[in-house]
Amino acid sequence: MSYLLVLGGGESGVGAAILAQKVGLPCRVSDKGKLNPQYREELEKRGIPYEEGKHSPDWLLDANEVIKSPGIPDSLPLIQDFIKRGISVISEIEFASRYLPEDTKVAAITGSNGKTTTVNWVTHILKTAGYDAAMCGNVGFSMARLVAEDPHKYYVVEMSSFQLDGTYKFHPNVSVLLNITPDHLDRYKHKFELYALSKMRITQQLGKGDSFVYWEEDAFIKKYLEQHSMECTLLPFSLQTSGAKALYESDKETLHIEAQHNLSAFSIPKRDLALVGKHNLLNAMASALVAREFGVSNEYLGKALRDFKNVPHRIEYVAEIDGVRYINDSKATNIQSTFYALEAQTTPVVLILGGTDKGNNYSEIEDVVLSKCRALIFMGIDNDKLHRAFDGKIDQIRDARSMDECLTHAQELAQSGDVVLLSPACASFDLFKNYEDRGEQFKNKVLAIKDR
């Protein structure tokens, strides 16, 4: 008997299996690792066949289509074997999109930085305006789970490059590309262009009646658009280019959105935005353009741009202790995110860097580190690359192998008026389960110090 094979039993895999069962497709879930007890219980309760700790050869043999977890590289022999046998290998979002009602509206958002903030902000704007909206994908629940169990009229989908690699006919109404900076290059033969082209897949199904929201100043996007014609509506946002659909007018310190459809032009002072920093000006402009494509009025747009609360672990204020502010930016797992976090600071910084390096070039943040940082704390198993980059350039540098050790150093190095900023520029898997675990440990231990 042939069946749909789901590789990976996390949120996206289990969500895909639940949807497959609902639409009557025979399905099996296979995970090389150990399943989370919550997902194991779900599969057992629904009677969906699964295995863990292995990919059984006989399970691989009879699959007629494969949905793979974003974490599984295309280069793995078992994936290459499916491809050679002509078996379709897709992402969970590609699968879920097959079962969307025709009147559903989808905004798909990607970028090396700012995805989660923008997805949350767009969803907040839509909900403020009374829309039946939900976010999904690389944040929150899988799209497949929502389609199966909790359908909505509007979906705001966060998409990583890994998820985009498995899409072919997925057709958003609005696609957003915030920026492209080097990240995950180990998955793309250490070639930036391959990674960037993966991001551009978000435009592959756009046609007349669809819209593409993008950052005008991104060099790769600009070059790509010069070389490829698109039938969709182009909606650039910019910090400096007059004529963009959304523009930051630096002389007035105002964000301005051009008139769209039947909506008049809209402006809001930078000081009124819910989030600070240049990167959040970009996120706000992108969010506003998406919302207006879906018809959100200026009244609701202005309210939601002002009262939005940022997601955890992204430049998140934790506490002030002895005049020192502690900020959790654990979600900064690449160089550009750390650059943005540093740029947003207005007082001296004790910066916590380090973790599992993904091919970082620390010279890209050297200038902002030298101009903003009083001291550096390298928190990781192997800090040699960081030392090579910054030794002799910053007077105070410490190493830490745990969050407790890290915060002990931070208390010794920080002075009243400073910021202690956790913005690692690295993945977290050397010392922590994930970036959320890293951020939660930072917050909990900072709050425990404050209580003492």
Output the pLDDT for position 191. 85
Same domain, 129 and 274: yes
Question: What spatial distance separates the first Cα and last Cα of the chain, rounded to whole Å?
Answer: 63
Same domain, 344 and 268: no
Q: What is the pLDDT of residues 385-397, one digit of tens each?
A: 999 999 999 999 9
Q: pLDDT class for 261, splitting at 50, 70, 90?
A: confident
Same domain, 301 and 355: no
Same domain, 61 and 206: no
Of 46, 73, 90, at which residue does a domain stop?
Answer: 90
Query: What is the domain-level CATH number for residue 263?
Result: 3.40.1190.10
Same domain, 231 and 340: no
Cα 142 to Cα 123: distance, rounded to the nearest angstrom: 15
Same domain, 15 and 159: no
Annotated binding site for ATP: 111-117
For the chain, give the mean pLDDT.
Answer: 93
Output the pLDDT for position 237. 97
Q: What percent of the chain has pLDDT over 70?
A: 99
Range(s) of the domain holding residue 56: 3-90
Quick check: 295 and 328 in contact, CB under 8 A?
A: no
Q: pLDDT class for 1, splitting at 50, 70, 90?
A: low
Same domain, 153 and 243: yes
Q: What is the pLDDT of residues 406-443, one digit of tens each?
A: 999 999 999 999 999 999 999 998 999 999 999 999 99
Query: Is the predicted pLDDT of residue 169 greater than 80, yes or no?
Result: yes
Query: Is the predicted pLDDT of residue 271 greater than 90, yes or no?
Result: yes
Output the pLDDT for position 47. 97
Query: What is the domain-level CATH number for residue 378?
Result: 3.90.190.20
Q: How many CB atoms lie within 10 A of CB 150?
A: 10
Q: pLDDT class for 340, splitting at 50, 70, 90?
A: confident
Q: pLDDT class for 264, splitting at 50, 70, 90?
A: very high
Query: Is the predicted pLDDT of residue 240 greater than 90, yes or no?
Result: no
The residue among 163, 114, 141, 140 whose CA lies nearest residue 332 is: 114
Q: What is the pLDDT of residues 110-139, one digit of tens each?
A: 998 889 889 999 999 999 999 999 999 988
Q: pLDDT class for 345, splitting at 50, 70, 90?
A: confident
Domains held by the chain: number? 3
Annotated binding site: 111-117
Of 307, 333, 368, at which residue does a domain stop?
Answer: 307
Mean pLDDT of 163-182: 94
Which residue is it, tokens 């150093």?
409
Contacts of 181 (CB under 8 A, 6+ apart): 112, 113, 334, 335, 336
Same domain, 102 and 45: no
Of 63, 90, 117, at which residue does a domain stop?
Answer: 90
Q: pLDDT class for 182, splitting at 50, 70, 90?
A: confident
Same domain, 51 and 116: no
Same domain, 334 and 212: no
Q: What is the pLDDT of residues 8-34, one digit of tens each?
A: 999 999 999 999 999 999 999 999 999
Same domain, 301 and 361: no
Query: What is the domain-level CATH number for residue 24?
Result: 3.40.50.720
Mean pLDDT of 315-327: 91
Q: What is the pLDDT of residues 78-114, one digit of tens each?
A: 999 999 999 999 999 999 999 999 999 999 999 988 8
Which residue is it, tokens 């198993």?
381
The residue among 447, 445, 346 whose CA lies nearest residue 403 is: 445
Q: Best-predicted range by mean pLDDT among 160-169, 312-321, 332-341?
A: 160-169
Same domain, 283 and 390: no
Tokens of 251: 């002389």
